[in-house]
């Protein structure tokens, strides 16, 4: 087994500007007080120290809620080596996190996809014991390289789950708890968090009205359903594009119009992809888009819209406003792409609501603790969140809500 480097011997953190740390602390103050579940877990972790001596390699959007989770892991005795995703880093928070000498951060808002993969390598070079992943980039790179000492991992999202059960299936020698499949993540984060957060990103980037516009939501999973419902509640006309006939039927039964991507291209003012799969919007379809159409993505990887293809198709492009790029096509029509095709709610807004992430990150902290204390009780590869963790998080959450009274 390879020698484990001391944290001090690793590359220093790579962030945009350490002078932003004080601003990051300001953002965190509000976030902490709105994450009561993590506050409770922090107190438990401080007394139990379940992560003592463990190094945790993390890939999670580097923003305020993630920083509160990092504080919990540190309270549990763990060291943290963290990277994020392109365009979703809050540079103030990244700077603030570097103040802790037991934390390394490799993340800048301006990172390209190539930078991202270099950061993933940096995290793995630190020889982590545990991984906390989002999209399975760390897990895939660990499996591909010999000599890892990873004992166990968690995976946050649908896109990572697809990879664990697809290209990585049967190749992972350690247990991975998939947070995404917990009913708490699916029913609360994906079904309640996504819609309002994406609308927030749409409003901030465009300052445009939602009502009386026609939106296409491509993909009607738990995230697409939340987005479609929210847009409709704000007065939009919503068209769903969904390749699974059962889910297409669900959309129809919710009163959504359902059509193909080709037909949607001719009809809509705004088209948003949320499929978890590449090439949901291809260049063939782009040529049929109406003049002035706005495009955005919510899925984990920016490949849902073929942005490289759009660049080639365009005769010119310019940044018309922050997070809005105008592409003029050969047919004379202009298409506007939001946030470069990265996740709109994170790249152009503040991500999911704080309380939503308190739930999801409580699942993460519980799961990492369970894995750190007893990795052998879990099977190698995919594991659901243990039901006792779901119950513990739900019970703790009920106690925090003013709308719930369970007294006798
Ligand atoms: N932005 C965020 O904050 C955030 C949060 C949670 C999840 N996500 C990501 O959102 C994506 C969707 O997550 P989900 O849980 O709803 O996934 P899901 O798998 O439940 O649903 C995706 C749906 O898209 C459909 N689909 C796939 N390819 C399609 C295509 N080409 N055309 C039409 N429909 C297609 C599938 O049939 C499926 O019904 C994932 O990438 C996930 O990681 C993002």
Q: What is the pLDDT of residues 116-164, one digit of tens each?
A: 999 999 999 999 999 999 999 999 999 999 889 999 999 999 999 999 9
Across residues 276-285, what is the average pLDDT?
96
The best mutation among 251, 299, 339, 356 to test binding of ligand 1, ranked by most ligand atoms within 8 Å of the C-beta, falls on 299
Q: How far is CA 266 from CA 169, 236, 292, in A?
A: 39, 17, 12
Across residues 349-377, what is the average pLDDT?
97
- Residue 11: band (very low, low, confident or very high) from pLDDT cuts 50, 70, 90: confident
Across residues 52-66, what is the average pLDDT?
97
- From the CA of 158, give the closest atom in ligand 1: 43
Characterize 306-316 residue by residue with b for buried, 16 or more Cβ atoms within 10 angstroms of its Cβ, and e for exposed: bbeebeebbee
State whether residue 18 is helix, strand or coil: helix
Task: Compute the distance between CA of residue 332 and CA of residue 315 in angstroms, rounded to an integer.
Answer: 9
Residue 146's pLDDT is 83
Kind of pairing, strands 237-241 and 214-218? parallel
Ligand 1 center–CA 225 separation, angstroms:
10
Q: Using alpha carbons, select from 314, 396, 367 the residue that is nearest to residue 180.
A: 367
Name every residue whose Cβ is closer than 8 Å to that of residue 133 and which is 6 or more positions away in sequence. Answer: 58, 59, 60, 139, 153, 154, 155, 156, 160, 176
Q: Using alpha carbons, select from 379, 355, 372, 369 the residue that is nearest to residue 184.
A: 355
- From the CA of 219, give the closest atom in ligand 1: 24
CB 216 within 8 A of CB 271: yes
Across residues 246-253, what is the average pLDDT?
98
Instruction: Tell me: pLDDT of 12 over 60.
Output: yes
Task: Compute the distance between CA of residue 323 and CA of residue 339 in angstroms, rounded to an integer.
Answer: 4
Which residue's CA is the nearest one to ligand 1's atom 17? 221
CA dihedral in degrees (322, 97, 142, 173; nearest 10)? -120
Q: How far is C-alpha 98 from the geometric centre of its chain's CA atoms?
A: 21
pLDDT: is 71 or 8 the higher one? Answer: 71
Ligand 1 center–CA 275 separation, angstroms:
3
The best mutation among 189, 219, 351 to test binding of ligand 1, ranked by most ligand atoms within 8 Å of the C-beta, falls on 219
Helix, strand, coil content of the chain in percent (nearest 5): 45, 20, 35
Task: Compute the distance between CA of residue 344 and CA of residue 196 in angstroms, rounded to an integer.
Answer: 11
State whether residue 77 is helix, strand or coil: coil
CB-based pocket (< 6 A), ligand 1? 157-159, 190, 194, 218-224, 241-244, 247, 274-277, 280, 298-300, 343, 345-346, 352
Residue 257's pLDDT is 97
Instruction: Tell me: pLDDT of 260 over 90.
Output: yes
- From the CA of 180, give the closest atom in ligand 1: 15
- Give the global pTM: 0.91
User: What six digits make up the tokens of 342?
Assistant: 């990265």
């Amino acid at each position: 087994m390879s020698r484990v480097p001391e944290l001090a011997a690793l590359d220093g953190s790579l962030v945009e500007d350490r002078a932003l740390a004080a601003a990051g602390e300001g953002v965190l103050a509000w976030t902490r007080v709105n994450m009561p579940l993590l506050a409770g877990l922090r107190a438990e972790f401080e007394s139990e120290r379940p992560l003592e001596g463990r190094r945790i390699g993390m890939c999670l959007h580097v923003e305020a809620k993630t920083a509160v989770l990092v504080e919990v892991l540190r309270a549990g005795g763990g060291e943290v080596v963290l990277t994020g995703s392109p365009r979703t880093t809050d540079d103030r928070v990244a700077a603030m996190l570097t103040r802790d000498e037991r934390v390394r951060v490799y993340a800048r808002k301006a990172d390209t996809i190539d930078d991202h993969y270099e950061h993933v390598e940096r995290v793995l070079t630190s020889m982590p014991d545990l991984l906390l992943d989002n999209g399975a980039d760390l897990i895939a790179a660990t499996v591909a390289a010999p000599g890892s000492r990873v004992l166990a991992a968690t995976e946050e999202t649908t896109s990572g789950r697809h990879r664990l059960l697809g290209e990585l299936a049967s190749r992972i020698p350690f247990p991975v708890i998939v947070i995404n499949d917990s009913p708490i993540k699916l029913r609360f984060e994906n079904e309640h968090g996504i819609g309002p957060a994406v609308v927030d990103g749409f409003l901030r980037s465009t300052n445009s009205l939602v009502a009386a516009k026609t939106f296409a939501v491509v993909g009607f999973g738990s995230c697409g359903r939340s987005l479609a419902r929210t847009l409709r509640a704000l007065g939009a006309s919503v068209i769903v594009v969904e390749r699974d006939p059962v889910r297409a039927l669900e959309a129809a039964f919710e009163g959504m119009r359902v059509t193909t991507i080709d037909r949607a291209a001719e009809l809509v003012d705004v088209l948003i992809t949320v499929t978890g799969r590449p090439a949901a919007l291809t260049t063939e379809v782009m040529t049929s888009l109406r003049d002035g159409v706005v495009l955005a993505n919510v899925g984990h990887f920016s490949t849902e819209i073929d942005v490289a293809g759009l660049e080639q198709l365009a005769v010119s492009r310019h940044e018309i406003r922050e997070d809005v790029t105008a592409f003029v096509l050969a047919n004379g029509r202009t298409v506007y792409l939001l946030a470069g095709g990265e996740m709109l709610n994170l790249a152009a807004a503040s991500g999911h609501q704080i309380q939503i992430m308190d739930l999801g990150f409580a699942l993460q902290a519980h799961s990492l603790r369970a894995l750190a204390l007893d990795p052998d009780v879990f099977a190698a590869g995919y594991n659901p969140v243990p039901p006792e963790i779901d119950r513990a998080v739900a019970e703790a959450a009920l106690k925090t809500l003013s709308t719930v009274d369970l007294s006798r």
